Amino acid sequence: MFKTEICKIFGIEYPIILGGMLWVGKADLVAAVSEAGGLGLLGAAGMTIEEIENELEKVARQTKKPFGVNIPLLRPDADEMIEASIRGGATAISTSAGNPKKYTRKIKDQGCRVLHVAANVSFARKSEDAGVDAVVAEGYEAGGHNGRDEITTMALVPQVAGAVDIPVVAAGGIADGRGLMAALALGAKGVQVGTRFLAADEAAAHPNYKEAVIQMPDNGTCVTGRTTVGPTRAIKNELTDMIIKAENEGAKPEELLEMIGEGRSAMAAIEGNCVKGTMYCGQIGGGIQGLKSAMEVINDMISEAASIIRSFQSLLQG
């Protein structure tokens, strides 16, 4: 069921990818998603090379199925990160925040697959030209860093699907079988999920952070950073209120960066400080009612999608 080109490219059962998540997407979650038939991606953005090696060793002990690593290309040691990932058994590299052109050939020559995250049509085309195997079209409702054009998943996915010949993976606002079916209907061949897996048993997020996702309402996130690091979606708290106030008062980018300082996302994800830390989270968090295992997330997504197909067939019969 649900075998698409994405399954063939990455050697997985279901076209469901765990998006790389800074601090949160560590070995246990990666292995659990891969074991459940999806593609687990290690969120390596905040990891040293040694940490990547250790995490991948842990993943390899827990699953024999394919897994990969997400590498933000802004990292000056992106080359070493890629080498460590391939040495550690990754068969897929997801690149984000940069141009994949310099890296794609090197990754593919080592037998690894590449997918790149793009938030508009032009970057999706550039990714295709760079030779990636698939492009992730990530909409503005997604958790974490968003594209500067602020295009929603609903509008972005069909436009990217119409613009490139490589398979498209939809990301942003997808947490269940309804989201999977919507993405496929829009022309995607798979989905990348972040926020739903952030509220999974195996996610490395602090319990306070997971609880904040479960408790948040539909309008529980906001976007800050437009004048500095780029739009960033996180759960509203004292920190986001302070940033928005300063932004509205016209604070200069350097003043904002100084005020925010370093390490805010680790403060929430690792220390559990949900007042002063940044809790990256997508808008779909408002619909997440409780924790599930990664296996339950995937199984529920697939069975719900299958029942939607059945209900659509009955629509055709009048």
Ligand X SMILES: Cc1cc2nc3c(=O)[nH]c(=O)nc-3n(C[C@H](O)[C@H](O)[C@H](O)COP(=O)(O)O)c2cc1C
Interacting residues with ligand X (CB under 6 A): 19-22, 24, 43, 45, 70, 72, 96, 117, 138, 141-144, 171-174, 192-195, 198, 280-282, 284
- Give me the least distance between CB of 301 and ligand X, in Å please: 12
- Give me the least distance between CB of 191 and ligand X, in Å please: 8
Q: Which is nearer to ligand X, 33 or 171 (CB)?
A: 171
Q: Which is nearer to ligand X, 65 or 210 (CB)?
A: 210
Q: Which is nearer to ligand X, 107 or 142 (CB)?
A: 142
In this chain, which residue has its C-beta nearest to ligand X? 194
Q: Which is nearer to ligand X, 166 or 269 (CB)?
A: 269
Residue by residue, what is the 3-state secondary structure of the chain?
CCCCHHHHHHCCCCCEEECCCCCCCCHHHHHHHHHCCCEEEEECCCCCHHHHHHHHHHHHHHCCCCEEEEEECCCCCHHHHHHHHHHCCCCEEEEECCCCHHHHHHHHHCCCEEEEEECCHHHHHHHHHCCCCEEEEECCCCCEECCCCCCCHHHHHHHHHHHCCCCEEEECCCCCHHHHHHHHHCCCCEEEECHHHHCECCCCCCHHHHHHHHHCCCCCEEEECCCCCCCEEEECCHHHHHHHHHHHCCCCHHHHHHHHCCCHHHHHHCCCCCCCCCCECCHHHHHCCCCECHHHHHHHHHHHHHHHHHHHHHHHCC
Q: State the Cα–Cα distance between residues 210 and 16, nearest whole angstrom.
A: 21
- Give me the least distance between CB of 55 and ligand X, in Å please: 14
Q: Which is nearer to ligand X, 63 or 70 (CB)?
A: 70
Q: Which is nearer to ligand X, 45 or 239 (CB)?
A: 45
* Residues 93 and 117 sit within 8 Å (Cβ to Cβ): no
Kindly list the strands in the beta sheet with 168-171, ordered across the sheet, starting from the edge strand earlier in the chain. 16-18, 190-193, 168-171, 134-138, 113-118, 92-96, 67-72, 40-43
Q: State the Cα–Cα distance between residues 251 and 224, nearest whole angstrom.
A: 13
Q: Which is nearer to ligand X, 20 or 88 (CB)?
A: 20
- Give me the least distance between CB of 266 and ligand X, in Å please: 11
Q: State the Cα–Cα distance between residues 96 and 37, nearest whole angstrom.
A: 23
Q: Which is nearer to ligand X, 44 or 314 (CB)?
A: 44
- Give me the least distance between CB of 180 and ligand X, in Å please: 12
- Give me the least distance between CB of 32 and ligand X, in Å please: 16
- Give me the least distance between CB of 141 and ligand X, in Å please: 6
Q: Which is nearer to ligand X, 144 or 225 (CB)?
A: 144
- Give me the least distance between CB of 316 and ligand X, in Å please: 30
